[in-house]
Structure 1
Amino acid sequence: MNSIDLSPLYRNSIGFDRLASLIDHALTSENAVNGYPPYNIEVLSDNRYAISLAVAGFVQEELDIQVEKGVLTVRGHKNSDEERKYLYQGIANRTFERKFNLADYVEVIDADLFNGLLTITLVKEIPEAMKPKSISINNNGKVLEHKAEEKRTKEGEVA
């Protein structure tokens, strides 16, 4: 598979180093994913999301949800003690692992299993320090470097 040159995207971007690895992972793993279990990703509101996985036949004890280093992993472990004879088996009861890459500041807040759907609720909470803020522009004719020099002079007098 050919790799994509992302260098033009980085000319005006800073801090998006993880993006290249996410795109590369998506391009290489999309062919390998078998599509089980099927899932939906839903936008509930501006900063709330839900992932619903169709996990019919699984009980709560057979499901595992973990978040590590920005990756949400959902695993289903199906242990069948019974030997069953099927004429036709269209319902998949197999072990699975499904991974979702989470953006920065996205946290899992809840998980619910109801009627064969595992719904995981996520919220994006940007810290106050990271939210956009307005910067006022001083209009008194002084250059910023002069203010820094005045501050150093005053600090020197105090010490």
Structure 2
Amino acid sequence: MRTSFDFNPFYRFSIGFDRMFDLLENASLNAETWPPYNIVKLGEDAYRIVIAAAGFAEDELMITHEANMLVITGAKSEDEEVQYLHQGLAVRSFARRFELADHVLVEGAKLENGLLVINLRREIPEEMKPRRITIETQTAMTASKQIEGDKAA
């Protein structure tokens, strides 16, 4: 069941959030269910993605970090010499995509006990952090101009 939400009213009083509204509209289209995963918040700016990658070796997994997209792919090589009487383990190929916010970096990844663990950290550049702006008063501005005028005389 797909429910749609109209974001048009938000466009009236928001500037620069077009990408966020597009992500929300497309979120229901990205209904991948394989492989299962967890997203964990470890701290204020630290995150972890844990993907169940049982049956995959390190060389069969690939992690790509593009502009604001993290793509994890797994491709299992076919072993034609093996004849399965029953194959209950799902080791099919997959591609899982995660939209990342600005300034989110991939710190590293490891494969342990069949789980692919990817650590992420948000690092906001110094120029993007909030800073205090001093407010000049009109009297201070005229006083400084007056002093400059007296120096010239």
TM over 0.5: yes
SS of aligned partner of 2:96: strand
CA distance in 2, matches of 1:40, 1:3: 26
CA distance in 2, matches of 1:42, 1:52: 8
Structure 1 partner of 2:13 = 12
Structure 2 partner of 1:71 = 69
Structure 2 partner of 1:46 = 44
**CA gap 1:93/1:83 in 2 versus in 1, 3 angstroms:** farther
CA deviations 1:22-78 (Å, max 9, x no partner) are 122212232xx2x11100000111101000000000000000000112110000010
Structure 2 partner of 1:133 = 131
- Report matched runs for 1:63-102 at 5 Å: 63-102=61-100
Cα offset for 1:20?
2.2
Query: Normalising by structure 1, what TM-score?
Result: 0.80
Q: CA RMSD in A?
A: 2.6
CA distance in 1, matches of 2:129, 2:29: 34
Q: Which amino acid aligns with 1:15?
A: G
Cα offset for 1:8?
1.7
Instruction: Indicate whether 1:112 and 2:94 are aligned.
Output: no
Q: Which amino acid aligns with 1:90?
A: G
CA distance in 2, matches of 1:68, 1:13: 27
**What runs of 5+ residues in structure 1 fail to find an aligned partner?**
155-159
What percent identity do the matched residue pairs reach? 46
Number of aligned positions between the proteins: 146
CA distance in 2, matches of 1:83, 1:21: 46
**What runs of 5+ residues in structure 2 fail to find an aligned partner?**
none
Segment of structure 1 superposing worse, 12-21 or 38-47: 12-21
Structure 2 partner of 1:157 = none
**CA gap 1:139/1:127 in 2 versus in 1, 3 angstroms:** same
CA distance in 2, matches of 1:85, 1:5: 52
Query: Normalising by structure 2, what TM-score?
Result: 0.83
Cα offset for 1:106?
0.5
